[in-house]
Amino acid sequence: MEHKWEQIYTRLMKASLLARRDVKELLLSHPNLDLLLSKLESKNIKGILSQKLILETTEEINKEKEQINIGRTIAPINPRKIAPASRPHGLEHYDISQFDTNANDIDNEIEILFEITGNSTTEGRKEDINSFFNNRFQRISAMVRQQGLPNRPISISKLIQERRSRSGYNSSSTIIGMVNNPKHTKERNHFMFDLEDDGAEITCICYNEEENPNPIIKTGLMQDDVIAVTGSFVDDRDTFRVEEFHRPPLKRHHKKSSEIGISVAFLSDIHVGSKTFLEAQWTKMVEWFHNDPLAKTIKYLVLSGDVVDGVGIYPNQDKELAIKDFYKQYSKFAELLELLPEWVECILLPGNHDVVRPAEPQPALDPEIQSDYNSTTFVGNPCSFKLHGVDILAYHGKSIDDFVSMPEVSYAHPVEAMKEMLRRRHLAPTWGKKTPLSPEPEDNLIIGKIPDIFVTGHVHGHNCSDFKGTTLVCSSTWQDQTSYQRMLGFQPQPCILTVINLKTHASASIPFA
């Protein structure tokens, strides 16, 4: 029977039920509308008709039908095909045969390659800042030279001095420098920036040619990137026309594998102490750790920062805290980790909500906090380490807040920011924006060696994918949507445990929400 909305609305009004716009489509498309309306009338409920009430009443109707339709069922001639159940969040199924080693039988094998704890020497002086940037320039420019450049690079001051002899399309030159003031022009979307080395600075432009656009026109550059460019002067202008951009080489990476098939799991941004911490889902994960065959292979759990919500991190945070003392927050998290099986070793680095300095690289948590924890290795942020010979780079990911200024990067797709970090071989290139940096004598945020596994967190998303041979993991959070995220319309992807086997490099993403 076809129903008109006027008839439905009139019937609801007689039953003292007010139908809002959001339930209109639900009612018009309902397969048992007459039965639903009769059921609603019999409930004698008055007031606003919500979607929840419609769905609950529909479920009651379906249960009653199931009880009525009891009878003889003829078995099908063909046997029913057994298929794996669908998985929440659209996550892929995994093959358990690729996770075959019991972690309880294996000793820990963690080798820390770098982290800043105990090695920070900066005093924040001008000399420290100069040393910091000079070290970055020297190391990344050396990487750029490795890939082979069309010309032998010259200094910017020499380029300016020899401008006349290096003018015209047939006379190209190559220079290396640090990027300042990158921007697109309003007209025709050309890309302009200043390039600076230790002696001079020059304005560069890459024209937006429709027939053969340079990829940099689309992606842009970050402030303080180190790059090489090839081009020439055109006419009598002082602007250097860029024809080619050169970055550190990023070839296909051949990742190393462990000799034994144990696994490592990844989480981030637990935010214990927040009212939106998902403790029930944590309990569900603990039960899984003790009973699931895949969990038996997990030897390590990497926690990429913000394990607690902290105190005084942002205005009016206290209104959203269930635990308002940060020491008690860390004690609570220690209790939660104690629930995991004894064979699991945790590797914990800090984030911007943790009680460490905000400037990166950040040292490990204070020994007083560490004393509450068992089976946990505390490291700084970022940290480069090996697990059974496999190289892992773990970084909380605060600089993603700066990378989202690039056209191709967004909070919804944070893995694109991770790709950009690898392309420029730097975790946080920009000074003075949203990511505080510590001016150490050496720039410890340079990615000196391409890792086998690269993991971040911070943005409360989830991703596990391959990029040129490196496994990228954006670790999931254990916090529900916050009021701030709700205001921005951002939906997190909480309670997904990412598991990677160190021998086969097979991955599994396990949802608990």
Q: pLDDT digit string (tens) for 464-502? A: 999 999 999 999 999 999 888 888 788 999 999 999 999
**Residues sharing a CB contact under 8 Å with residue 106, sequence separation 6 or more, in sequence order:** 260, 262, 299
Q: Report the pLDDT value the prediction gives residue 142, as an integer from 0 to 100.
A: 96
Residues 296 and 106 sit within 8 Å (Cβ to Cβ)? no
pLDDT of residue 85: 58
Distance in angstroms (rounded) separating the CA atoms of residues 147 and 143:
7
Fold of 91-121+252-511: Purple Acid Phosphatase; chain A, domain 2 (3.60.21)
Q: What is the pLDDT of residues 402-415, one digit of tens each?
A: 999 998 999 989 99
For Cα atoms 501, 451, 502, give the angle at the middle one, nearest 5 degrees.
Answer: 10
> pLDDT at position 357, please?
96
Q: What is the pLDDT of residue 90?
A: 76
**How many CA atoms lie less than 13 Å away from 218 in the CB half-sphere?**
8
Give the pLDDT score at 71.
Answer: 46
Judge if pTM exceeds 0.75: yes
pLDDT at residue number 365? 98
pLDDT at 2: 45
Q: How far apart are CA 123 and CA 126, in angstroms?
A: 9
Instruction: Report, as ranges of residue numbers, the positions in the chain whose pLDDT lies below 50.
Output: 1-2, 69-75, 80
Three-class DSSP category at 267: strand
Burial annotation 278-315 (CB, 10 A radius, 16+ → b, else e):
beebbeebbeebeeeebbbbbbbbbbbbbbbbbbeeee
Can you tell me which residue has the tokens 């190393």? 256
CATH code of 148-246, in short, is 2.40.50.140
Look up residue 224 and give its two tokens: 């303080």
Q: What is the pLDDT of residue 53?
A: 83
Nearest in space to 167 (alpha carbons), one of 115, 100, 84, 235: 235
